[in-house]
Amino acid sequence: MIHSPAALWIRFLNAADIDTLAITAADVIAAVENVVAAHGRGETVFEPRTHLVPNNGGIGHFNVLRGHVDTLGEQGLSGVKVVGDFVPNYRKGLPSELALMNVYDPTTGVPLSIMDATWITEVRTGAMTAVGAKYLARADSRILGHVGARGTAFANVTMLDSLFPLTEIRVTSRRPESREAFAEQLRAVTDTPVRAVATADEAFDGADILVEASRLEKPTPLLRTAAVRPGAFVVPYGTVSAVELDLLDVMDKVVVDDWRESQSGRFGALRAHVDTGRLSEQTLYAQIGAIVSGQKPGRETDSERILFWHRGLSILDVALAHLILTRAEAADAGTMLRYR
């Protein structure tokens, strides 16, 4: 006798559904910190991203991220995210990054949910910057210099602002209207003075935390080595390099999210440093998971210059998808779709 399986349903969650769940920045940072520690303990299955680059004249590409986390729920959770990276989308009134996430039961392969992952992509990036800063930046950091005003920028700045006693936030981007709008967006949610400046040099001058999240089409030095002072914490993560080749020469510690991810693909802020051997497994200080899980110390002195390069781990997407799905199930949010 052939047994007919019970009907299978998938919970579909759009952006509006996720907004109703009222997930806070503190919730996101905690979820990311926990999964980074799990990665350090070997409790995740992580696959470096792959790229799909259509024949579209170089206007954009897709990133495909796959991961599994043992510690989420009773049986763990697996997921796949596809995110487009299309810089000219602003001309059409669209985000440069639009993403979709599928999550699965790792014991049966049953799909559990399909969700808009654009918000996940934005906040998990900011949360990783914040978690890195928690362990690697000086606790008394006062000045934040941020280059870039794209979707992830807001989470970068606001989450850092929530963790440090900042006295000034400086922001810039290529288009004046973009940086001014970003500064106004930030002023609406923080009491920390926010200043829109015309150049990256102005943003980074004397800054304690330097974040480079630019959207370049070809390598151009925006974060100059000379701008990195003793005690600084540096986060370069633009898709195309905006740093000088000798940047790592002044660093006391270089930390990445995952060394295999650092070596994958043709994109990334330190791509040239990996390709030329300036950054290798031997010169690398640690993966952030080893620090967050307590296996290695983070910042040890106030004078250390520390660089953190994070490319974006699929396990962060899985962790935040789990947070969303758990909240959505409790609230019966979203739309149930018949799978089979």
Domain of residue 154, CATH code: 3.40.50.720
Residues 6+ apart with CB under 8 A from 131: 29, 32, 33, 36, 288, 292
pLDDT in tens, 258-270: 888 777 666 666 6
- Whether pTM > 0.85 for this model: the answer is yes
Taking CA atoms, 209 is separated from 241, 296, 310, in Å, by 18, 22, 15
**One domain, residues 41 and 145:** no
In this structure, is residue 3 part of a structural domain?
A: no
What is the DSSP track for 317-330? Answer: HHHHHHHHHHHHHH
pLDDT value at 3 more than 80: no
**Is 4 part of any domain?**
no
Of 8-22, 86-100, 195-209, the one with minimum mean pLDDT is 86-100
pLDDT at residue 197, rounded to an integer: 97
Counting Cα atoms < 13 Å in the Cβ hemisphere of 148 gives 27
In a domain, 1, yes or no: no
Q: Tell me whether residue 201 is in a domain.
A: yes
pLDDT in tens, 193-209: 999 999 999 999 999 99
CATH number (domain holding residue 94): 3.30.1780.10
**96 lies in a domain?**
yes
Over the stretch 279-289, which tens digit does the pLDDT of each residue have?
Answer: 888 888 999 99
β-bridge pairing 9-13 and 97-104: unpaired
* In-domain check, residue 219: yes
Residue 107: pLDDT band (50, 70, 90) is very high
Q: Is residue 306 part of a domain?
A: yes
What is the rounded CA–CA span in Å between residue 118 and residue 97? Answer: 7
Please give the average per-residue pLDDT across 77-91, as a whole number. Answer: 92
Question: How many other CB atoms sit within 10 Å of the CB of residue 220?
Answer: 13
Q: Do residues 66 and 192 both lie within one domain?
A: no
| % pLDDT > 70, the chain | 94
- Select from 261, 258, 260, 252 the least CA-distant residue to 233: 252
Task: Kindly state the average pLDDT of the residues 130-151.
Answer: 95
> How many domains would you assign to the chain?
2
For residues 88 and 131, membership in a common domain is answered with no
Stretch 140-153: mean pLDDT: 92
- The reported pLDDT for the residue numbered 266 is 65
Amino acid at 83: V
- DSSP element (H, E) containing 264: none
113 and 177 fall within a common domain: no
**Domain span including residue 253:** 126-312
When pLDDT is averaged across residues 121-128 and rounded to a whole number, the result is 93
Q: Identify whether residues 98 and 79 lie together within a single domain.
A: yes
Do 201 and 234 share a domain, yes or no?
yes
The three state secondary structure string of 62-85 is EEEEEEEECCCCCCCEEEEEEEEE
